Amino acid sequence: MSSTAIPYEKDGYTLYSNHLCPYAQRALRAFKAAGVPHKVVEIDLNNKPAWYAQVNPQLKVPALRTPDGTILIESLVVAEYVAEEFPSAGLLPSSALERAQLRLFIEIFSSRFNPFIYRILGTSDADEQKKHTETLLSALRAASKELQEQWERSSGQGGPFWANGRFGFAEIALVSFVNLLTVVDHYRGVKVPETQDYAAFNRWRDAFTKDPLFTEFNPSQDVLFSAYKKFVVDN
């Protein structure tokens, strides 16, 4: 470790993270999946150390310090860097077309799912909750359709993971956010229907929640519910 005020691993990777942050969990899972040694520095998001502004002026996690001292921020950027720097882990497909299909799948969640988790929690208006829930479920139907189409491709191998029959980049990018369905169920009673429109999604969700790459970094439900209580607006 350096003798300066900023903690980091000399000649190694240092990941500035927070175990409850779904964005940071992307980076944690990427490093674990790639089998790359690294140091984790836990950042208290409610009491960030003064030195952290020198690492990431935006004060967000994750941030990655590479062995040459370069700082990378933004969770998908960090996860893709790990996947591309260590291709032997096979986290990203070699085909440009398959990478594009993967990014389209991730985008469904980034634009049509993730924001609506917080919008459902963040309003006490029943009509607003219903509207946001309909948008979220529409995204899950689209995701289910994409999963079914992917599983019919050779790389999909019939599921239940996005590709190659194992936890990969799609899961690294998405599972922490999909897991927040437990939070909206707890606080708003929102459940994913057990119908054919959602069948592939439910199969995928059931598979990844049993995988060690999910469970190792997944907080208990009590901890998760407590952490997300601050986002809940009640009457």
Q: Which of 13, 15, 21, 171 is catalytic?
A: 21
3-state class (DSSP) for residue 65: strand
- What is the DSSP-derived secondary structure letter of residue 220? P
Contact between 168 and 162 (Cβ < 8 Å): yes
Residue with tokens 């440009």: 96
Burial class of residue 201, CB neighbours in 10 A (0-12, 13-18, 19+): buried
The CA distances from residue 198 to 140, 151, 170, 204, 234, in Å, are 7, 15, 18, 10, 29
21 is catalytic: yes
Contacts of 47 (CB under 8 A, 6+ apart): none
* Backbone angles phi and psi of 43, in degrees to 5: -105, 120
For the annotated catalytic residues, the residue numbers are 21
